[in-house]
Homo-oligomer: A and B are copies of this chain.
Amino acid sequence: MLTERESLILQIIIDDFVKTAHPVGSRKLAKNERINLSAATIRNVMADLEEKELLEKTHTSSGRIPSEKGYRYYVDHFISPAINDNLNVITHVIQDNIIELERVVQLSAEILSQLTNYTAIILGPDETDATLKQVQLLPLSSNTVVAILVTSTGHVEHKSFTIPHEISVSDLEKTVNILNERLVGIPIVKLTHALETEVYDIMRKHIKNYKLMFEYIKNVLTYEESVKVYIDGQANLLMQPEFKDVEKVYDFYCFLEQEEAIIDLLKDIQDGLQVRIGQENEVEAVKDLSLIASTYRLSTDRLGTIALIGPTRMDYRKVIALLKSLSRELTTLFAEGQTT
């Protein structure tokens, strides 16, 4: 445990470093109004804090910078969990009283990244246990068809195909009927299986070109990614001094290009708010960045994730308050429906 004085100094050092990105020295601290100690005393305290691994030096005679452990301490002890000012960030922006869910999420990412100057990532809910609500095959021209697949959660997937002449319109219609009869209500992930056990035989009886048709249907019903990823403010991080060398930028951008990696990073964010500082992240490309993540609730059983990525030197207090507020706001927004 830290003494009162140590706490104060650690806090001021972090606040200062977050602002300036320069190591902070004892003289500078001594000038701070909140401290009435000489530089020498402060040096002693700083030495103690360094011994406790909360501070680091960049070289033997430099000022101190917070270590990751230092940030961790800051987050755990200096940020009151009670900050619950509802900032109404979103509600302020939505003038329209009609809420289009996807748009709201996208907007949230935008706002978040603009307000913080970090990179915002929002995941839609995991749709893996949704069930099939409806299948539709709509012919567009003589040889193209658009297939539309709706899940119980309102997720819509569509694919356009060019189809061979062997397949007739009436066969398409018949097939859709069969699918809707047999497959509605089945979990998305089990569709391909159900297709083979439930549908194949029926198709064989009623459809002329059933083999070819079956291949198409299988393709339509093959579910791909289950989570939607929204990113905003990618370029923001480039302005941070920790990104001055292109190497780091490259690693990070490669990471952002892979949706799976992003999902991987955020997969174990459960209820509540999490802060992961530097090495605490398991994903290599984020190991010298910090992640603040929280969940929001689209409906009782559909959880989305909302996150910010920035340098470890990050304004945790502000970001945490913001994210907390936003995730709460999103949840109530989706729960209540529109606010007339």
Contact = CB atoms under 8 A, between A and B. Distances in A.
A74 to B, nearest CB: 28
Given A140-B152, A156-B146, A257-B234, A162 B338 contact: yes
Nearest to A336: B162
A23 to B, nearest CB: 21
A215 B162 contact: no
Nearest to A162: B337
A209 to B, nearest CB: 12
Nearest to A219: B98
Given A219-B100, A238-B250, A146 B150 contact: yes
Interface string A220-263: 00000000000010110011000110100110011001000000
A159 to B, nearest CB: 5
Task: Tell me the interface secondary structure of chain A in the complex.
Answer: mixed
A29 B56 CA distance: 53
B161 A98 contact: yes
Q: Please indicate which of the listed interface residues A144, A160, A250 has the most CB atoms of chain B within 10 Å of its own CB.
A: A160
A154 interface: yes
A60 interface: no
As for how many copies of this chain the complex holds, the number is: 2
Interface in A114-165: 133-134, 136, 138, 140-141, 143-144, 146, 148, 150, 152-154, 156, 158-164
Nearest to A144: B154
A183 to B, nearest CB: 16
A153 to B, nearest CB: 7
Interface of A: 96, 98-103, 133-134, 136, 138, 140-141, 143-144, 146, 148, 150, 152-154, 156, 158-164, 215-216, 219, 232, 234-235, 238-239, 243-244, 246, 249-250, 253-254, 257, 299, 334, 336-338, 340
A100 B337 contact: no
Closest 3 CB pairs of A and B: A162-B337, A156-B158, A235-B253
A162 B334 contact: yes
Given A162-B338, A234-B257, A238-B250, 18 more contacts: A96-B219, A98-B161, A98-B216, A99-B162, A100-B219, A102-B160, A103-B159, A140-B154, A143-B337, A144-B337, A148-B148, A148-B156, A154-B160, A158-B158, A162-B336, A238-B246, A246-B246, A246-B249
A164 to B, nearest CB: 6
A157 to B, nearest CB: 9
Contacts of A136: 136
A74 B243 CA distance: 37
A154 B143 contact: no
19 contacts: A99-B162, A101-B160, A101-B162, A102-B159, A102-B160, A133-B138, A133-B140, A136-B136, A138-B150, A140-B154, A141-B299, A143-B337, A146-B156, A148-B150, A154-B160, A163-B337, A235-B250, A238-B250, A243-B246
